[in-house]
Structure 1
Amino acid sequence: MSELRKQYLRALTQYFEYGSSGSHHLGTSLLEALQTIEPEEIILLHEQSIHTITASVDPEEALRCYRLSFVFLMELLAHYRFKAQHIPNKERVLEELRSTLAKTHSSFQAVASKYENVLQHMDCGIVLFNSEGFVSFVNVLMGRFLGVPRKSLVGLDVPGLASYTGLSRPFRKLVIKLHREMFLYRLRFQEVIDENGRHYLVTATYGEELDGDILISVKDVTEFKKIEQSAYQNDKLAMLGKIAAAIAHEIRNPLTSIRGFIQLLRPHLVQLGKEEYAKIVIDEIDRANEIIYEFLNSSKPSTPDKQDIHVAPLLKEVKLLFESEAILKGCDIELAEIDPALTVCVDTKQMKQALLNIIQNALDAIGGTVCQERGMIRISATGQASQVIISVQDNGSGMDFHTQSKLFDPFFTTKLDGTGLGLAVCYRIIKNHGGHIQVDSDIGLGTRFKITLPLC
């Protein structure tokens, strides 16, 4: 039997080497030897031989061998059957059968290539684990997500992936997490966030239709998340507007009355030597009024009164308003040279309010930084196509990704005495102008706000 296996292996290797013409080299000695065993044994012999050949080749070559081996086996069994029976014009019949098999094989390859191209060009990464837990297919996008050549992943199991040095450490940890939750606990969906803050939806498909295989697909849903967060932000701002409209009127009127009576009582308190009481009460009432004013502004700026204004004078005025406070905090405010002809169509009052909030936050960030480097805030503006981009950059304490993701949420603040409404108001103002605001920040490296506004 070992001699027959060697003979079969030799014939199969020759077929792979010469392609379809290899079928002419099926030796009569092999065919005669195969007459002594049953067809089931021939199939077993074929499986053992193909396993031996593919054990030492790369995955793509192994796939080619498996496809060709199907044609080889069909042709061999036809020879086997014809040898045992008397069939007229045997050579002509064999040639027709060979031609039919070749056409079938070409058709199969065309269909396989078609579906493989579909998988390769999908907008999600695909990886297929076979029933034994090894990677049998990886598409191009998955290799791009992982940052490694996809061919290097084929043949690895989950422990192999987790220890693969080509993957970054966060990805290796992610593989272990997904293995536990999707392979062991059979969870079908997972949402993960990488170290750059990008969101991915991971889907696992199990079932009998895959014959024990597990299909993992990974889709980058970062843009969908931004849309979802924008809608969520709008809902929160709408809610904030309703709250402001409901309570502001009812609170401001009593506060105005209380402040008036305290002013009337102030001379009597001075006589009693308790003037500081009146001052404290008035200061606290004024502080409450400021908070209510911010509530009102968070819902009010819905119809800006737009007009064309020059950007340079607007930013110069904003800079002047903060110069004295900046000096007290050991900070410089630098205004870049701006094209005098650069204009933008905005509500001057609202836009000034938005810029004041952003620069105030920058000053607070610099004031809370323990650093020998002098504080610096840089303000600039440029025109690009049909947009104006205003940038406010500081070298303050910076923010982590979690803080940045909640920065424009109403009531979210990192300040002990903050209301969490300033940037929510900025977001609303800029959005109502048809623009958008984005933030880029790193811990210890400062923060940059970029406001993009349409020219008209």
Structure 2
Amino acid sequence: MNNRDKVNILMVDDRPENLMALEAVLNGKNYHLVAATSGEEALKFVLQYEFAVILLDVQMPGLNGFETAEIIKKRQNSSHIPIIFITALSKANEHVSVGYLTGAIDYIFKPFNPIILKSKVEAFVQIYNKQNEIKEQNMLLEKQAYELQERYNNLENIIEEKTKELVQANQALQVSQERFRKIFQLSPNLMAIRSLLDKRYVAVNESWIQFTGYQFDELQDQSEDVLKITSTSNRTLLDENDPKDVCEANYNEEITYITKKGVSREGLLSTETAVIDGEPCIISTITDVTDLVKLEKEVSRLDRLNLVGEMAAGIAHEIRNPMTTVLGFLQLAKSQQHVPQPEEYINLMIDELHRANGIITEFLTLAKDKANNRREEDLNSIIKTLHPLLRAEALMNNKVIQLQLSECPLLLLDEKEIRQLILNIGLNGLEAMNPGGTLVIKTYTIEEKVMLEINDNGPGIENEILENMGTPFFTTKDQGTGLGLAICYSIIARHSAKIEIKTGSEGTSFIISFPLHQQVMERTNRLSNL
């Protein structure tokens, strides 16, 4: 056991033999004996150590025992230390009264009894140890109290923070609920909330009531779709027996619905599932487009009438010219019945009639309901078949044809129409270029589309001409009918393809994208997985 674990006892006497006698009595493993030969030295030790008891000789030179004790007791950190005065028996009465005034606890008279000295010191040591235990317990209790206070403070802070979070969350929830209520009630679209469990109507908004004619009171006991909503494919939506209908969201599905008065209206339906008040629900929104559809149909009808008028005027204008020529020659022949008509007149009339017939034939090609014979064809093979014809046309005018063909899947094509499409665009490109120009025909595949691109390096197309491209009877050629590109656009539409024109000072590109047929796509995927 080191000195830090022992109890400190201070022995003060100016005679070394007295200190040795005290040390002989008190020497033990539990005591750390500190010896001082004067009051001044004793005060220094009091500043350095915490003592359980002080054995203080009364008669000493310099500071005597009473003066030393008085200074020790006046000091706050040492006032609690018990002091046992050691005095001669002959002067006991004189010292006792003074000693108690200076804070003495007990007296031992010289010559002292070792047993009594040891027992008294042991008693004060036990009191000191007990006080230390109580002090340690108090310190531990204070520490625990401090920790509990800290925990309480932290708990208060946590509770305060959580309370603020809950208040903020509640406020945000109230704002969100208010926004949803306003959006739901004031939306111009028909909105309804139905339970996924029993299909009952949970809520409907004002627009829903106004458009359908039903009141919410009429719906509370309803578990069926009172609007009889059907999609354009005649499949009943929100079928309770079809989990796909109620679990998968719809977006702008074209539908029809029946009002309370039995009127059929058209709309765009969007649905989404959500849990509301712990109950799984489906939120449906219908944008009523009945009036818009009627307007679009009327505009389409007027457009068709306008187009018919324009095309009739164009046909009349184009056919009138050859008919006028034929009529003039026939009138001349009538007036000169006995004069044989020159053969060139007859040939000219035949040519004009052929020209009129050609215009009518090309016009009929524009018909949307024209029968076609689409089969699985290789676009590259069609292009290779046409290549000699286009190359011959190019060579006569000192121009070049280049093919850049990539391997492409088979397409559902009408070979004759595609040949006409490529020839029309290709010949237009050759005519647009100066001698030395190059016409490039490319094929390639992008995602699920086969691309046909025909590029020329001519001067490009002006914007005002580009805007009218494909319009029947619009042409920039002196001998043109204005039906070539219009026929191309019609062919492209019948093949569900799309055309894009890119033009500039370096040339023009016609880019046509053909969608892959579903069966062709499936076969291509199977082959790619082998």
TM-score scaled by structure 1? 0.41
Which gives a bigger RCO, structure 1 or 2 (Cα 8 Å, sep 6+)? 1
Higher share of residues assigned strand? 2
Higher Rg of the two aligned structures: 2
TM-score scaled by structure 2? 0.36
Higher share of residues assigned helix? 1
